[in-house]
Homo-oligomer: A and B are copies of this chain.
Amino acid sequence: MTDSWVNHAGRTGSDLHLNLDWNPAGGGSRRAVLGRALREAIREGRLPPGTRLPPYRSLAADLGLARNTVAETYAELVAEGWLTARQGAGTQVAPRATPAAPPRVPDLVPPPPRPPAHDLRQGLPDASAFPRTAWLAAARRALTAAPHEAFGPGDPRGRPELRRALAGYLSRVRGVRTSPDTIVVCSGVAHALRLLFDGDVLRGPLAVESYGLPFHRSVLEAARVRTVPLTLDEHGAHTHDLTAHPGVRAALLTPAHQFPTGGSLHPRRRAAAVDWARATGGVVLEDDYDGEFRYDREPVGAVQGLDPQHVVHLGSLSKSLSPALRLGWMVLPDHLVEPVLRAKGEREAWAGVTDQLTLADFIESGHYDRHVRRTRQRYRDRRDRLVALLARRAPHITPTGIAAGLHAVLHLPPGTERSVTRAAARQRIAVDPLAAFRHPAAAMTAHDGLVVGYAAPPDHRLEAALDALCGILPPPP
């Protein structure tokens, strides 16, 4: 870009410095260039408020522009509030167009914290495993085939193509009993909770598990929903305690793989949850956050299959593809479909149509199954490496919850969780203490532990990350 500077000594006696580049990178007519230059000069204080501009005729002559060009530019800047034009007083820089303080941008957002040396946080899939080529191919097929109306205002239920694909997939893989009409697309499980509770579809108090995602709790708190923690053990939540809380009408559970402690909800407890919902008119919210990632046998089917009229089944792409896609789904009992759509509003307000169409094709073409199979194998290998390393280097530390998912819980000797967490911080190992997931009102005994996600580190750094982790574990008693 070439800068051409023009000095103009107007009747104001001040120089008019304009940065006039007639062939700017950004493009634009001569009028646009002149307008930009004037705005810039006013912004930067080179033309202070009250400054009288030269009459358009003389500026036009000086710059070798048509008079109209300058006159129109002046009119435009008057319309925008930069200049004022009054009969007799000529054209002046408007009083409020004072230069803003120089932008304080560098201070604005705290600089991103130094990235951890090793990232063993839960909930992060392997970002490098995103199947870009297959996804783009699905996008091409899907966007080419989509009807024009797909680019109009969206159906609040989500694209029919996607709801059809999900109904088939969830029935086949997760034993969910549904039809496209009872599926509502959303941007993830947290969004689903927001719609259900902020939209007054369901009311609290809500039973939750004594350990769970703090993020979900804050969504619920923002919606002013009181949560009642259920005790947990290796067989999942004590759903038989639900009847002890007569006000509770909904229960949020992670039946396939309790988050984060890792148990699978015991058959009797699945039955107890459904029985409770039937007896009280309650609703079980089944957060199936990593239902596809079970390693040692076929995945446990969804609780929803036991009673679709009393269970809301929630899922998303966050673990299976990427949390950055912001795409999830709710499988609803019949009577909740309309209330959820009312809460959502008359148009789709969240989930973008291109990803919806692409995912529909990605599922129908078999690429989703293939991707899940491939990543499952990868995560299973990683889990095996973690387990083997622990057996060798810290045999007194038991990992649990390893039959599924992308994380394990390492049980620590009582009283050591805080010192281990501090050691992790010192070594810049990003890993969460079990306490971070505990409900503040939980009554059950707290155990010391670390929640170790093993999916996020790139393959070539996993060994080093696990090594570093073993280095901070407490010695055998």
Contact = CB atoms under 8 A, between A and B. Distances in A.
B80 A278 contact: no
Nearest to A275: B96
Interface string A98-141: 00110111001100000000000001100110101001100110
A123 B152 CA distance: 10
Interface string A17-30: 00000000011100
Interface stretch (A243-251, A264-272, A444-452): A264-272
A97 B278 CA distance: 12
A108 B338 contact: yes
A5 to B, nearest CB: 21
Interface in A143-163: 143-144, 148-154, 157
Q: How many copies does the complex hold?
A: 2
A297 interface: yes
Given A326-B348, A326-B349, A349-B191, A179 B76 contact: no
Interface residues of A, number: 102
A99 B192 CA distance: 27
B153 A109 contact: no
A127 to B, nearest CB: 4
A295 interface: no
Contacts of A39: 175, 301, 305
B347 A309 contact: no
A336 B153 CA distance: 30
A218 B369 CA distance: 41
Given A154-B323, A175-B80, A301-B39, A109 B341 contact: yes
Contact of A128 (B148, B271, B324, B349): B148
Nearest to A358: B354
A238 B86 CA distance: 21
A309 B153 contact: no
Given A96-B274, A96-B275, A308-B103, A79 B264 contact: yes
A401 B338 CA distance: 37
Contact of A355 (B94, B168, B355): B355
Contact of A305 (B26, B80, B215, B354): B80
Interface stretch (A7-15, A180-188, A203-211, A380-388): A180-188
Interface in A53-79: 72, 76, 78-79
A39 B306 CA distance: 9
Contact of A150 (B127, B154, B278): B127
B81 A274 contact: yes
Given A80-B303, A101-B309, 12 more contacts: A28-B172, A39-B305, A79-B300, A80-B301, A81-B271, A81-B274, A103-B179, A104-B334, A105-B179, A325-B352, A326-B349, A326-B353
20 contacts: A26-B168, A39-B175, A76-B298, A80-B300, A80-B305, A81-B267, A82-B306, A103-B179, A103-B334, A105-B182, A108-B181, A108-B338, A136-B140, A152-B322, A322-B353, A326-B351, A326-B352, A350-B350, A354-B358, A355-B355
